[in-house]
A and B are shown apart, each in its own frame.
Chain A
Amino acid sequence: MNLAEGVQIVSFGILAVMMLVTSLGVVLLSNIVHSAFLLAGVFLSISGLYILLNADFVAAAQILIYVGAVNVLILFAIMLVNKREDFSELPNRWLRQGATAVVCIGLFALLGTMVLVTPWSLDTTSPAVVENTVIALGEHFFSDYLLPFELASVLLLMAMVGAIILARRDLIPDTIESQETVSTSLTLPERPRELASAVNSSEEN
């Protein structure tokens, strides 16, 4: 990283504040669509932190995978389950939240103490920064991390097949075409829920 020290400190501060504020927004906001968009802010600021840590390839991969794929997936899921639902009030909910907050703050204090007390064995000599991280990562992937690399591809295939099977909709039977109820042009051709349960129960019998 050939930026000056002051520039690095200032950009780290901006990115850290942005990341903490947006992640608190993800957790605390009541509207889930706002949370999903703030999640993109979290991922973008983490990508900026990666660039500060001399990792250009992983920063690009973070933006491509998280903002481009995972966040869009989450937004699609929110749209698919979009139902204005008023959650029933639970007794002692504030007690639960307060206890969780105390536990989280305690955990952060523990981790922070550990981080600050531990003498990290940083070598004081100027580190030999890798010239091209893409080449270094590729050499790792195809020499000493070859087995995990191949296993990752198998894992992605399994996740894809599993997600398709889990989220698959049953086929619409042709018999309910005649008894179609009033349908506006905006409704999707889905099987109604009570008919689906009736068909399932009849198949079981």
Chain B
Amino acid sequence: MASIVHTEEVMGTVVSFHLDAPRMGEAALSVALGAAVAGLHRDDETFSPWKPQSPLSRLRRGEIRLEDAPAEVAEVLALCEVAGTLSRGWFDAFAMPGGVDPTGLVKGWSLERALAGLVEAGVTSAMVNGGGDIALHGEPPTGGPWRIGVRHPWRPDALAAVLEVERAIATSGEYERGRHLVDPLGRLGPPPASATVTGPSLTLADALATAVAVGGDAALGLVAAIDGYEAYLIRADGTEAFTEGIRFADADADA
């Protein structure tokens, strides 16, 4: 029986691991965690647009070709194309200032990859939370569904909702830093305050949350059309909208 809580600063944020592995020893779990953490740092080195020597930065400057970059770069850019198609252009990694920028998807992809390695190693209950983008496996140690609070867009001390989540949840918003999301379709009007997407893959949930944060109500419907994915939107005026299958937890009920 082994159990670990670990926090790691990487990818410009803090990633927390909550892991339980009843059939693993503590040493084996530590090794698995170490591999997961190393993978996050490796992905950060590969994909950071803020690190001048990252393969992604060099690709953006035209110093290397895609085939010269690590294989993961082509994989992630292909995923960006898929996400762009599924979101009907609301997520567009290829329309960013400064060149291709998979930032809206790559964190989710990296966290999901880290989780997959841990599960393969024998972890049966896992929460990998990278700055609010969360990949989940199994059940929490207390049992029942994972209950994830969505932060209130304007109140640091409050939650807007508690959602029951099985695999992945990502929230995108502009509430701390002002506008930083780019609308690839160049629309006017205030952007949503907060956009949350749940679904089986954190990679896609991350990209779709970005899409809903940009497209608002217009992007909500396309999330509903993707099997397994749900969205919860807080508009700029504080009103809410959500897809039919989203699961709100009763915040006052005991888990």
Question: Is B truly associated with A?
Answer: no
A residues at B contact (CB < 8 Å): none
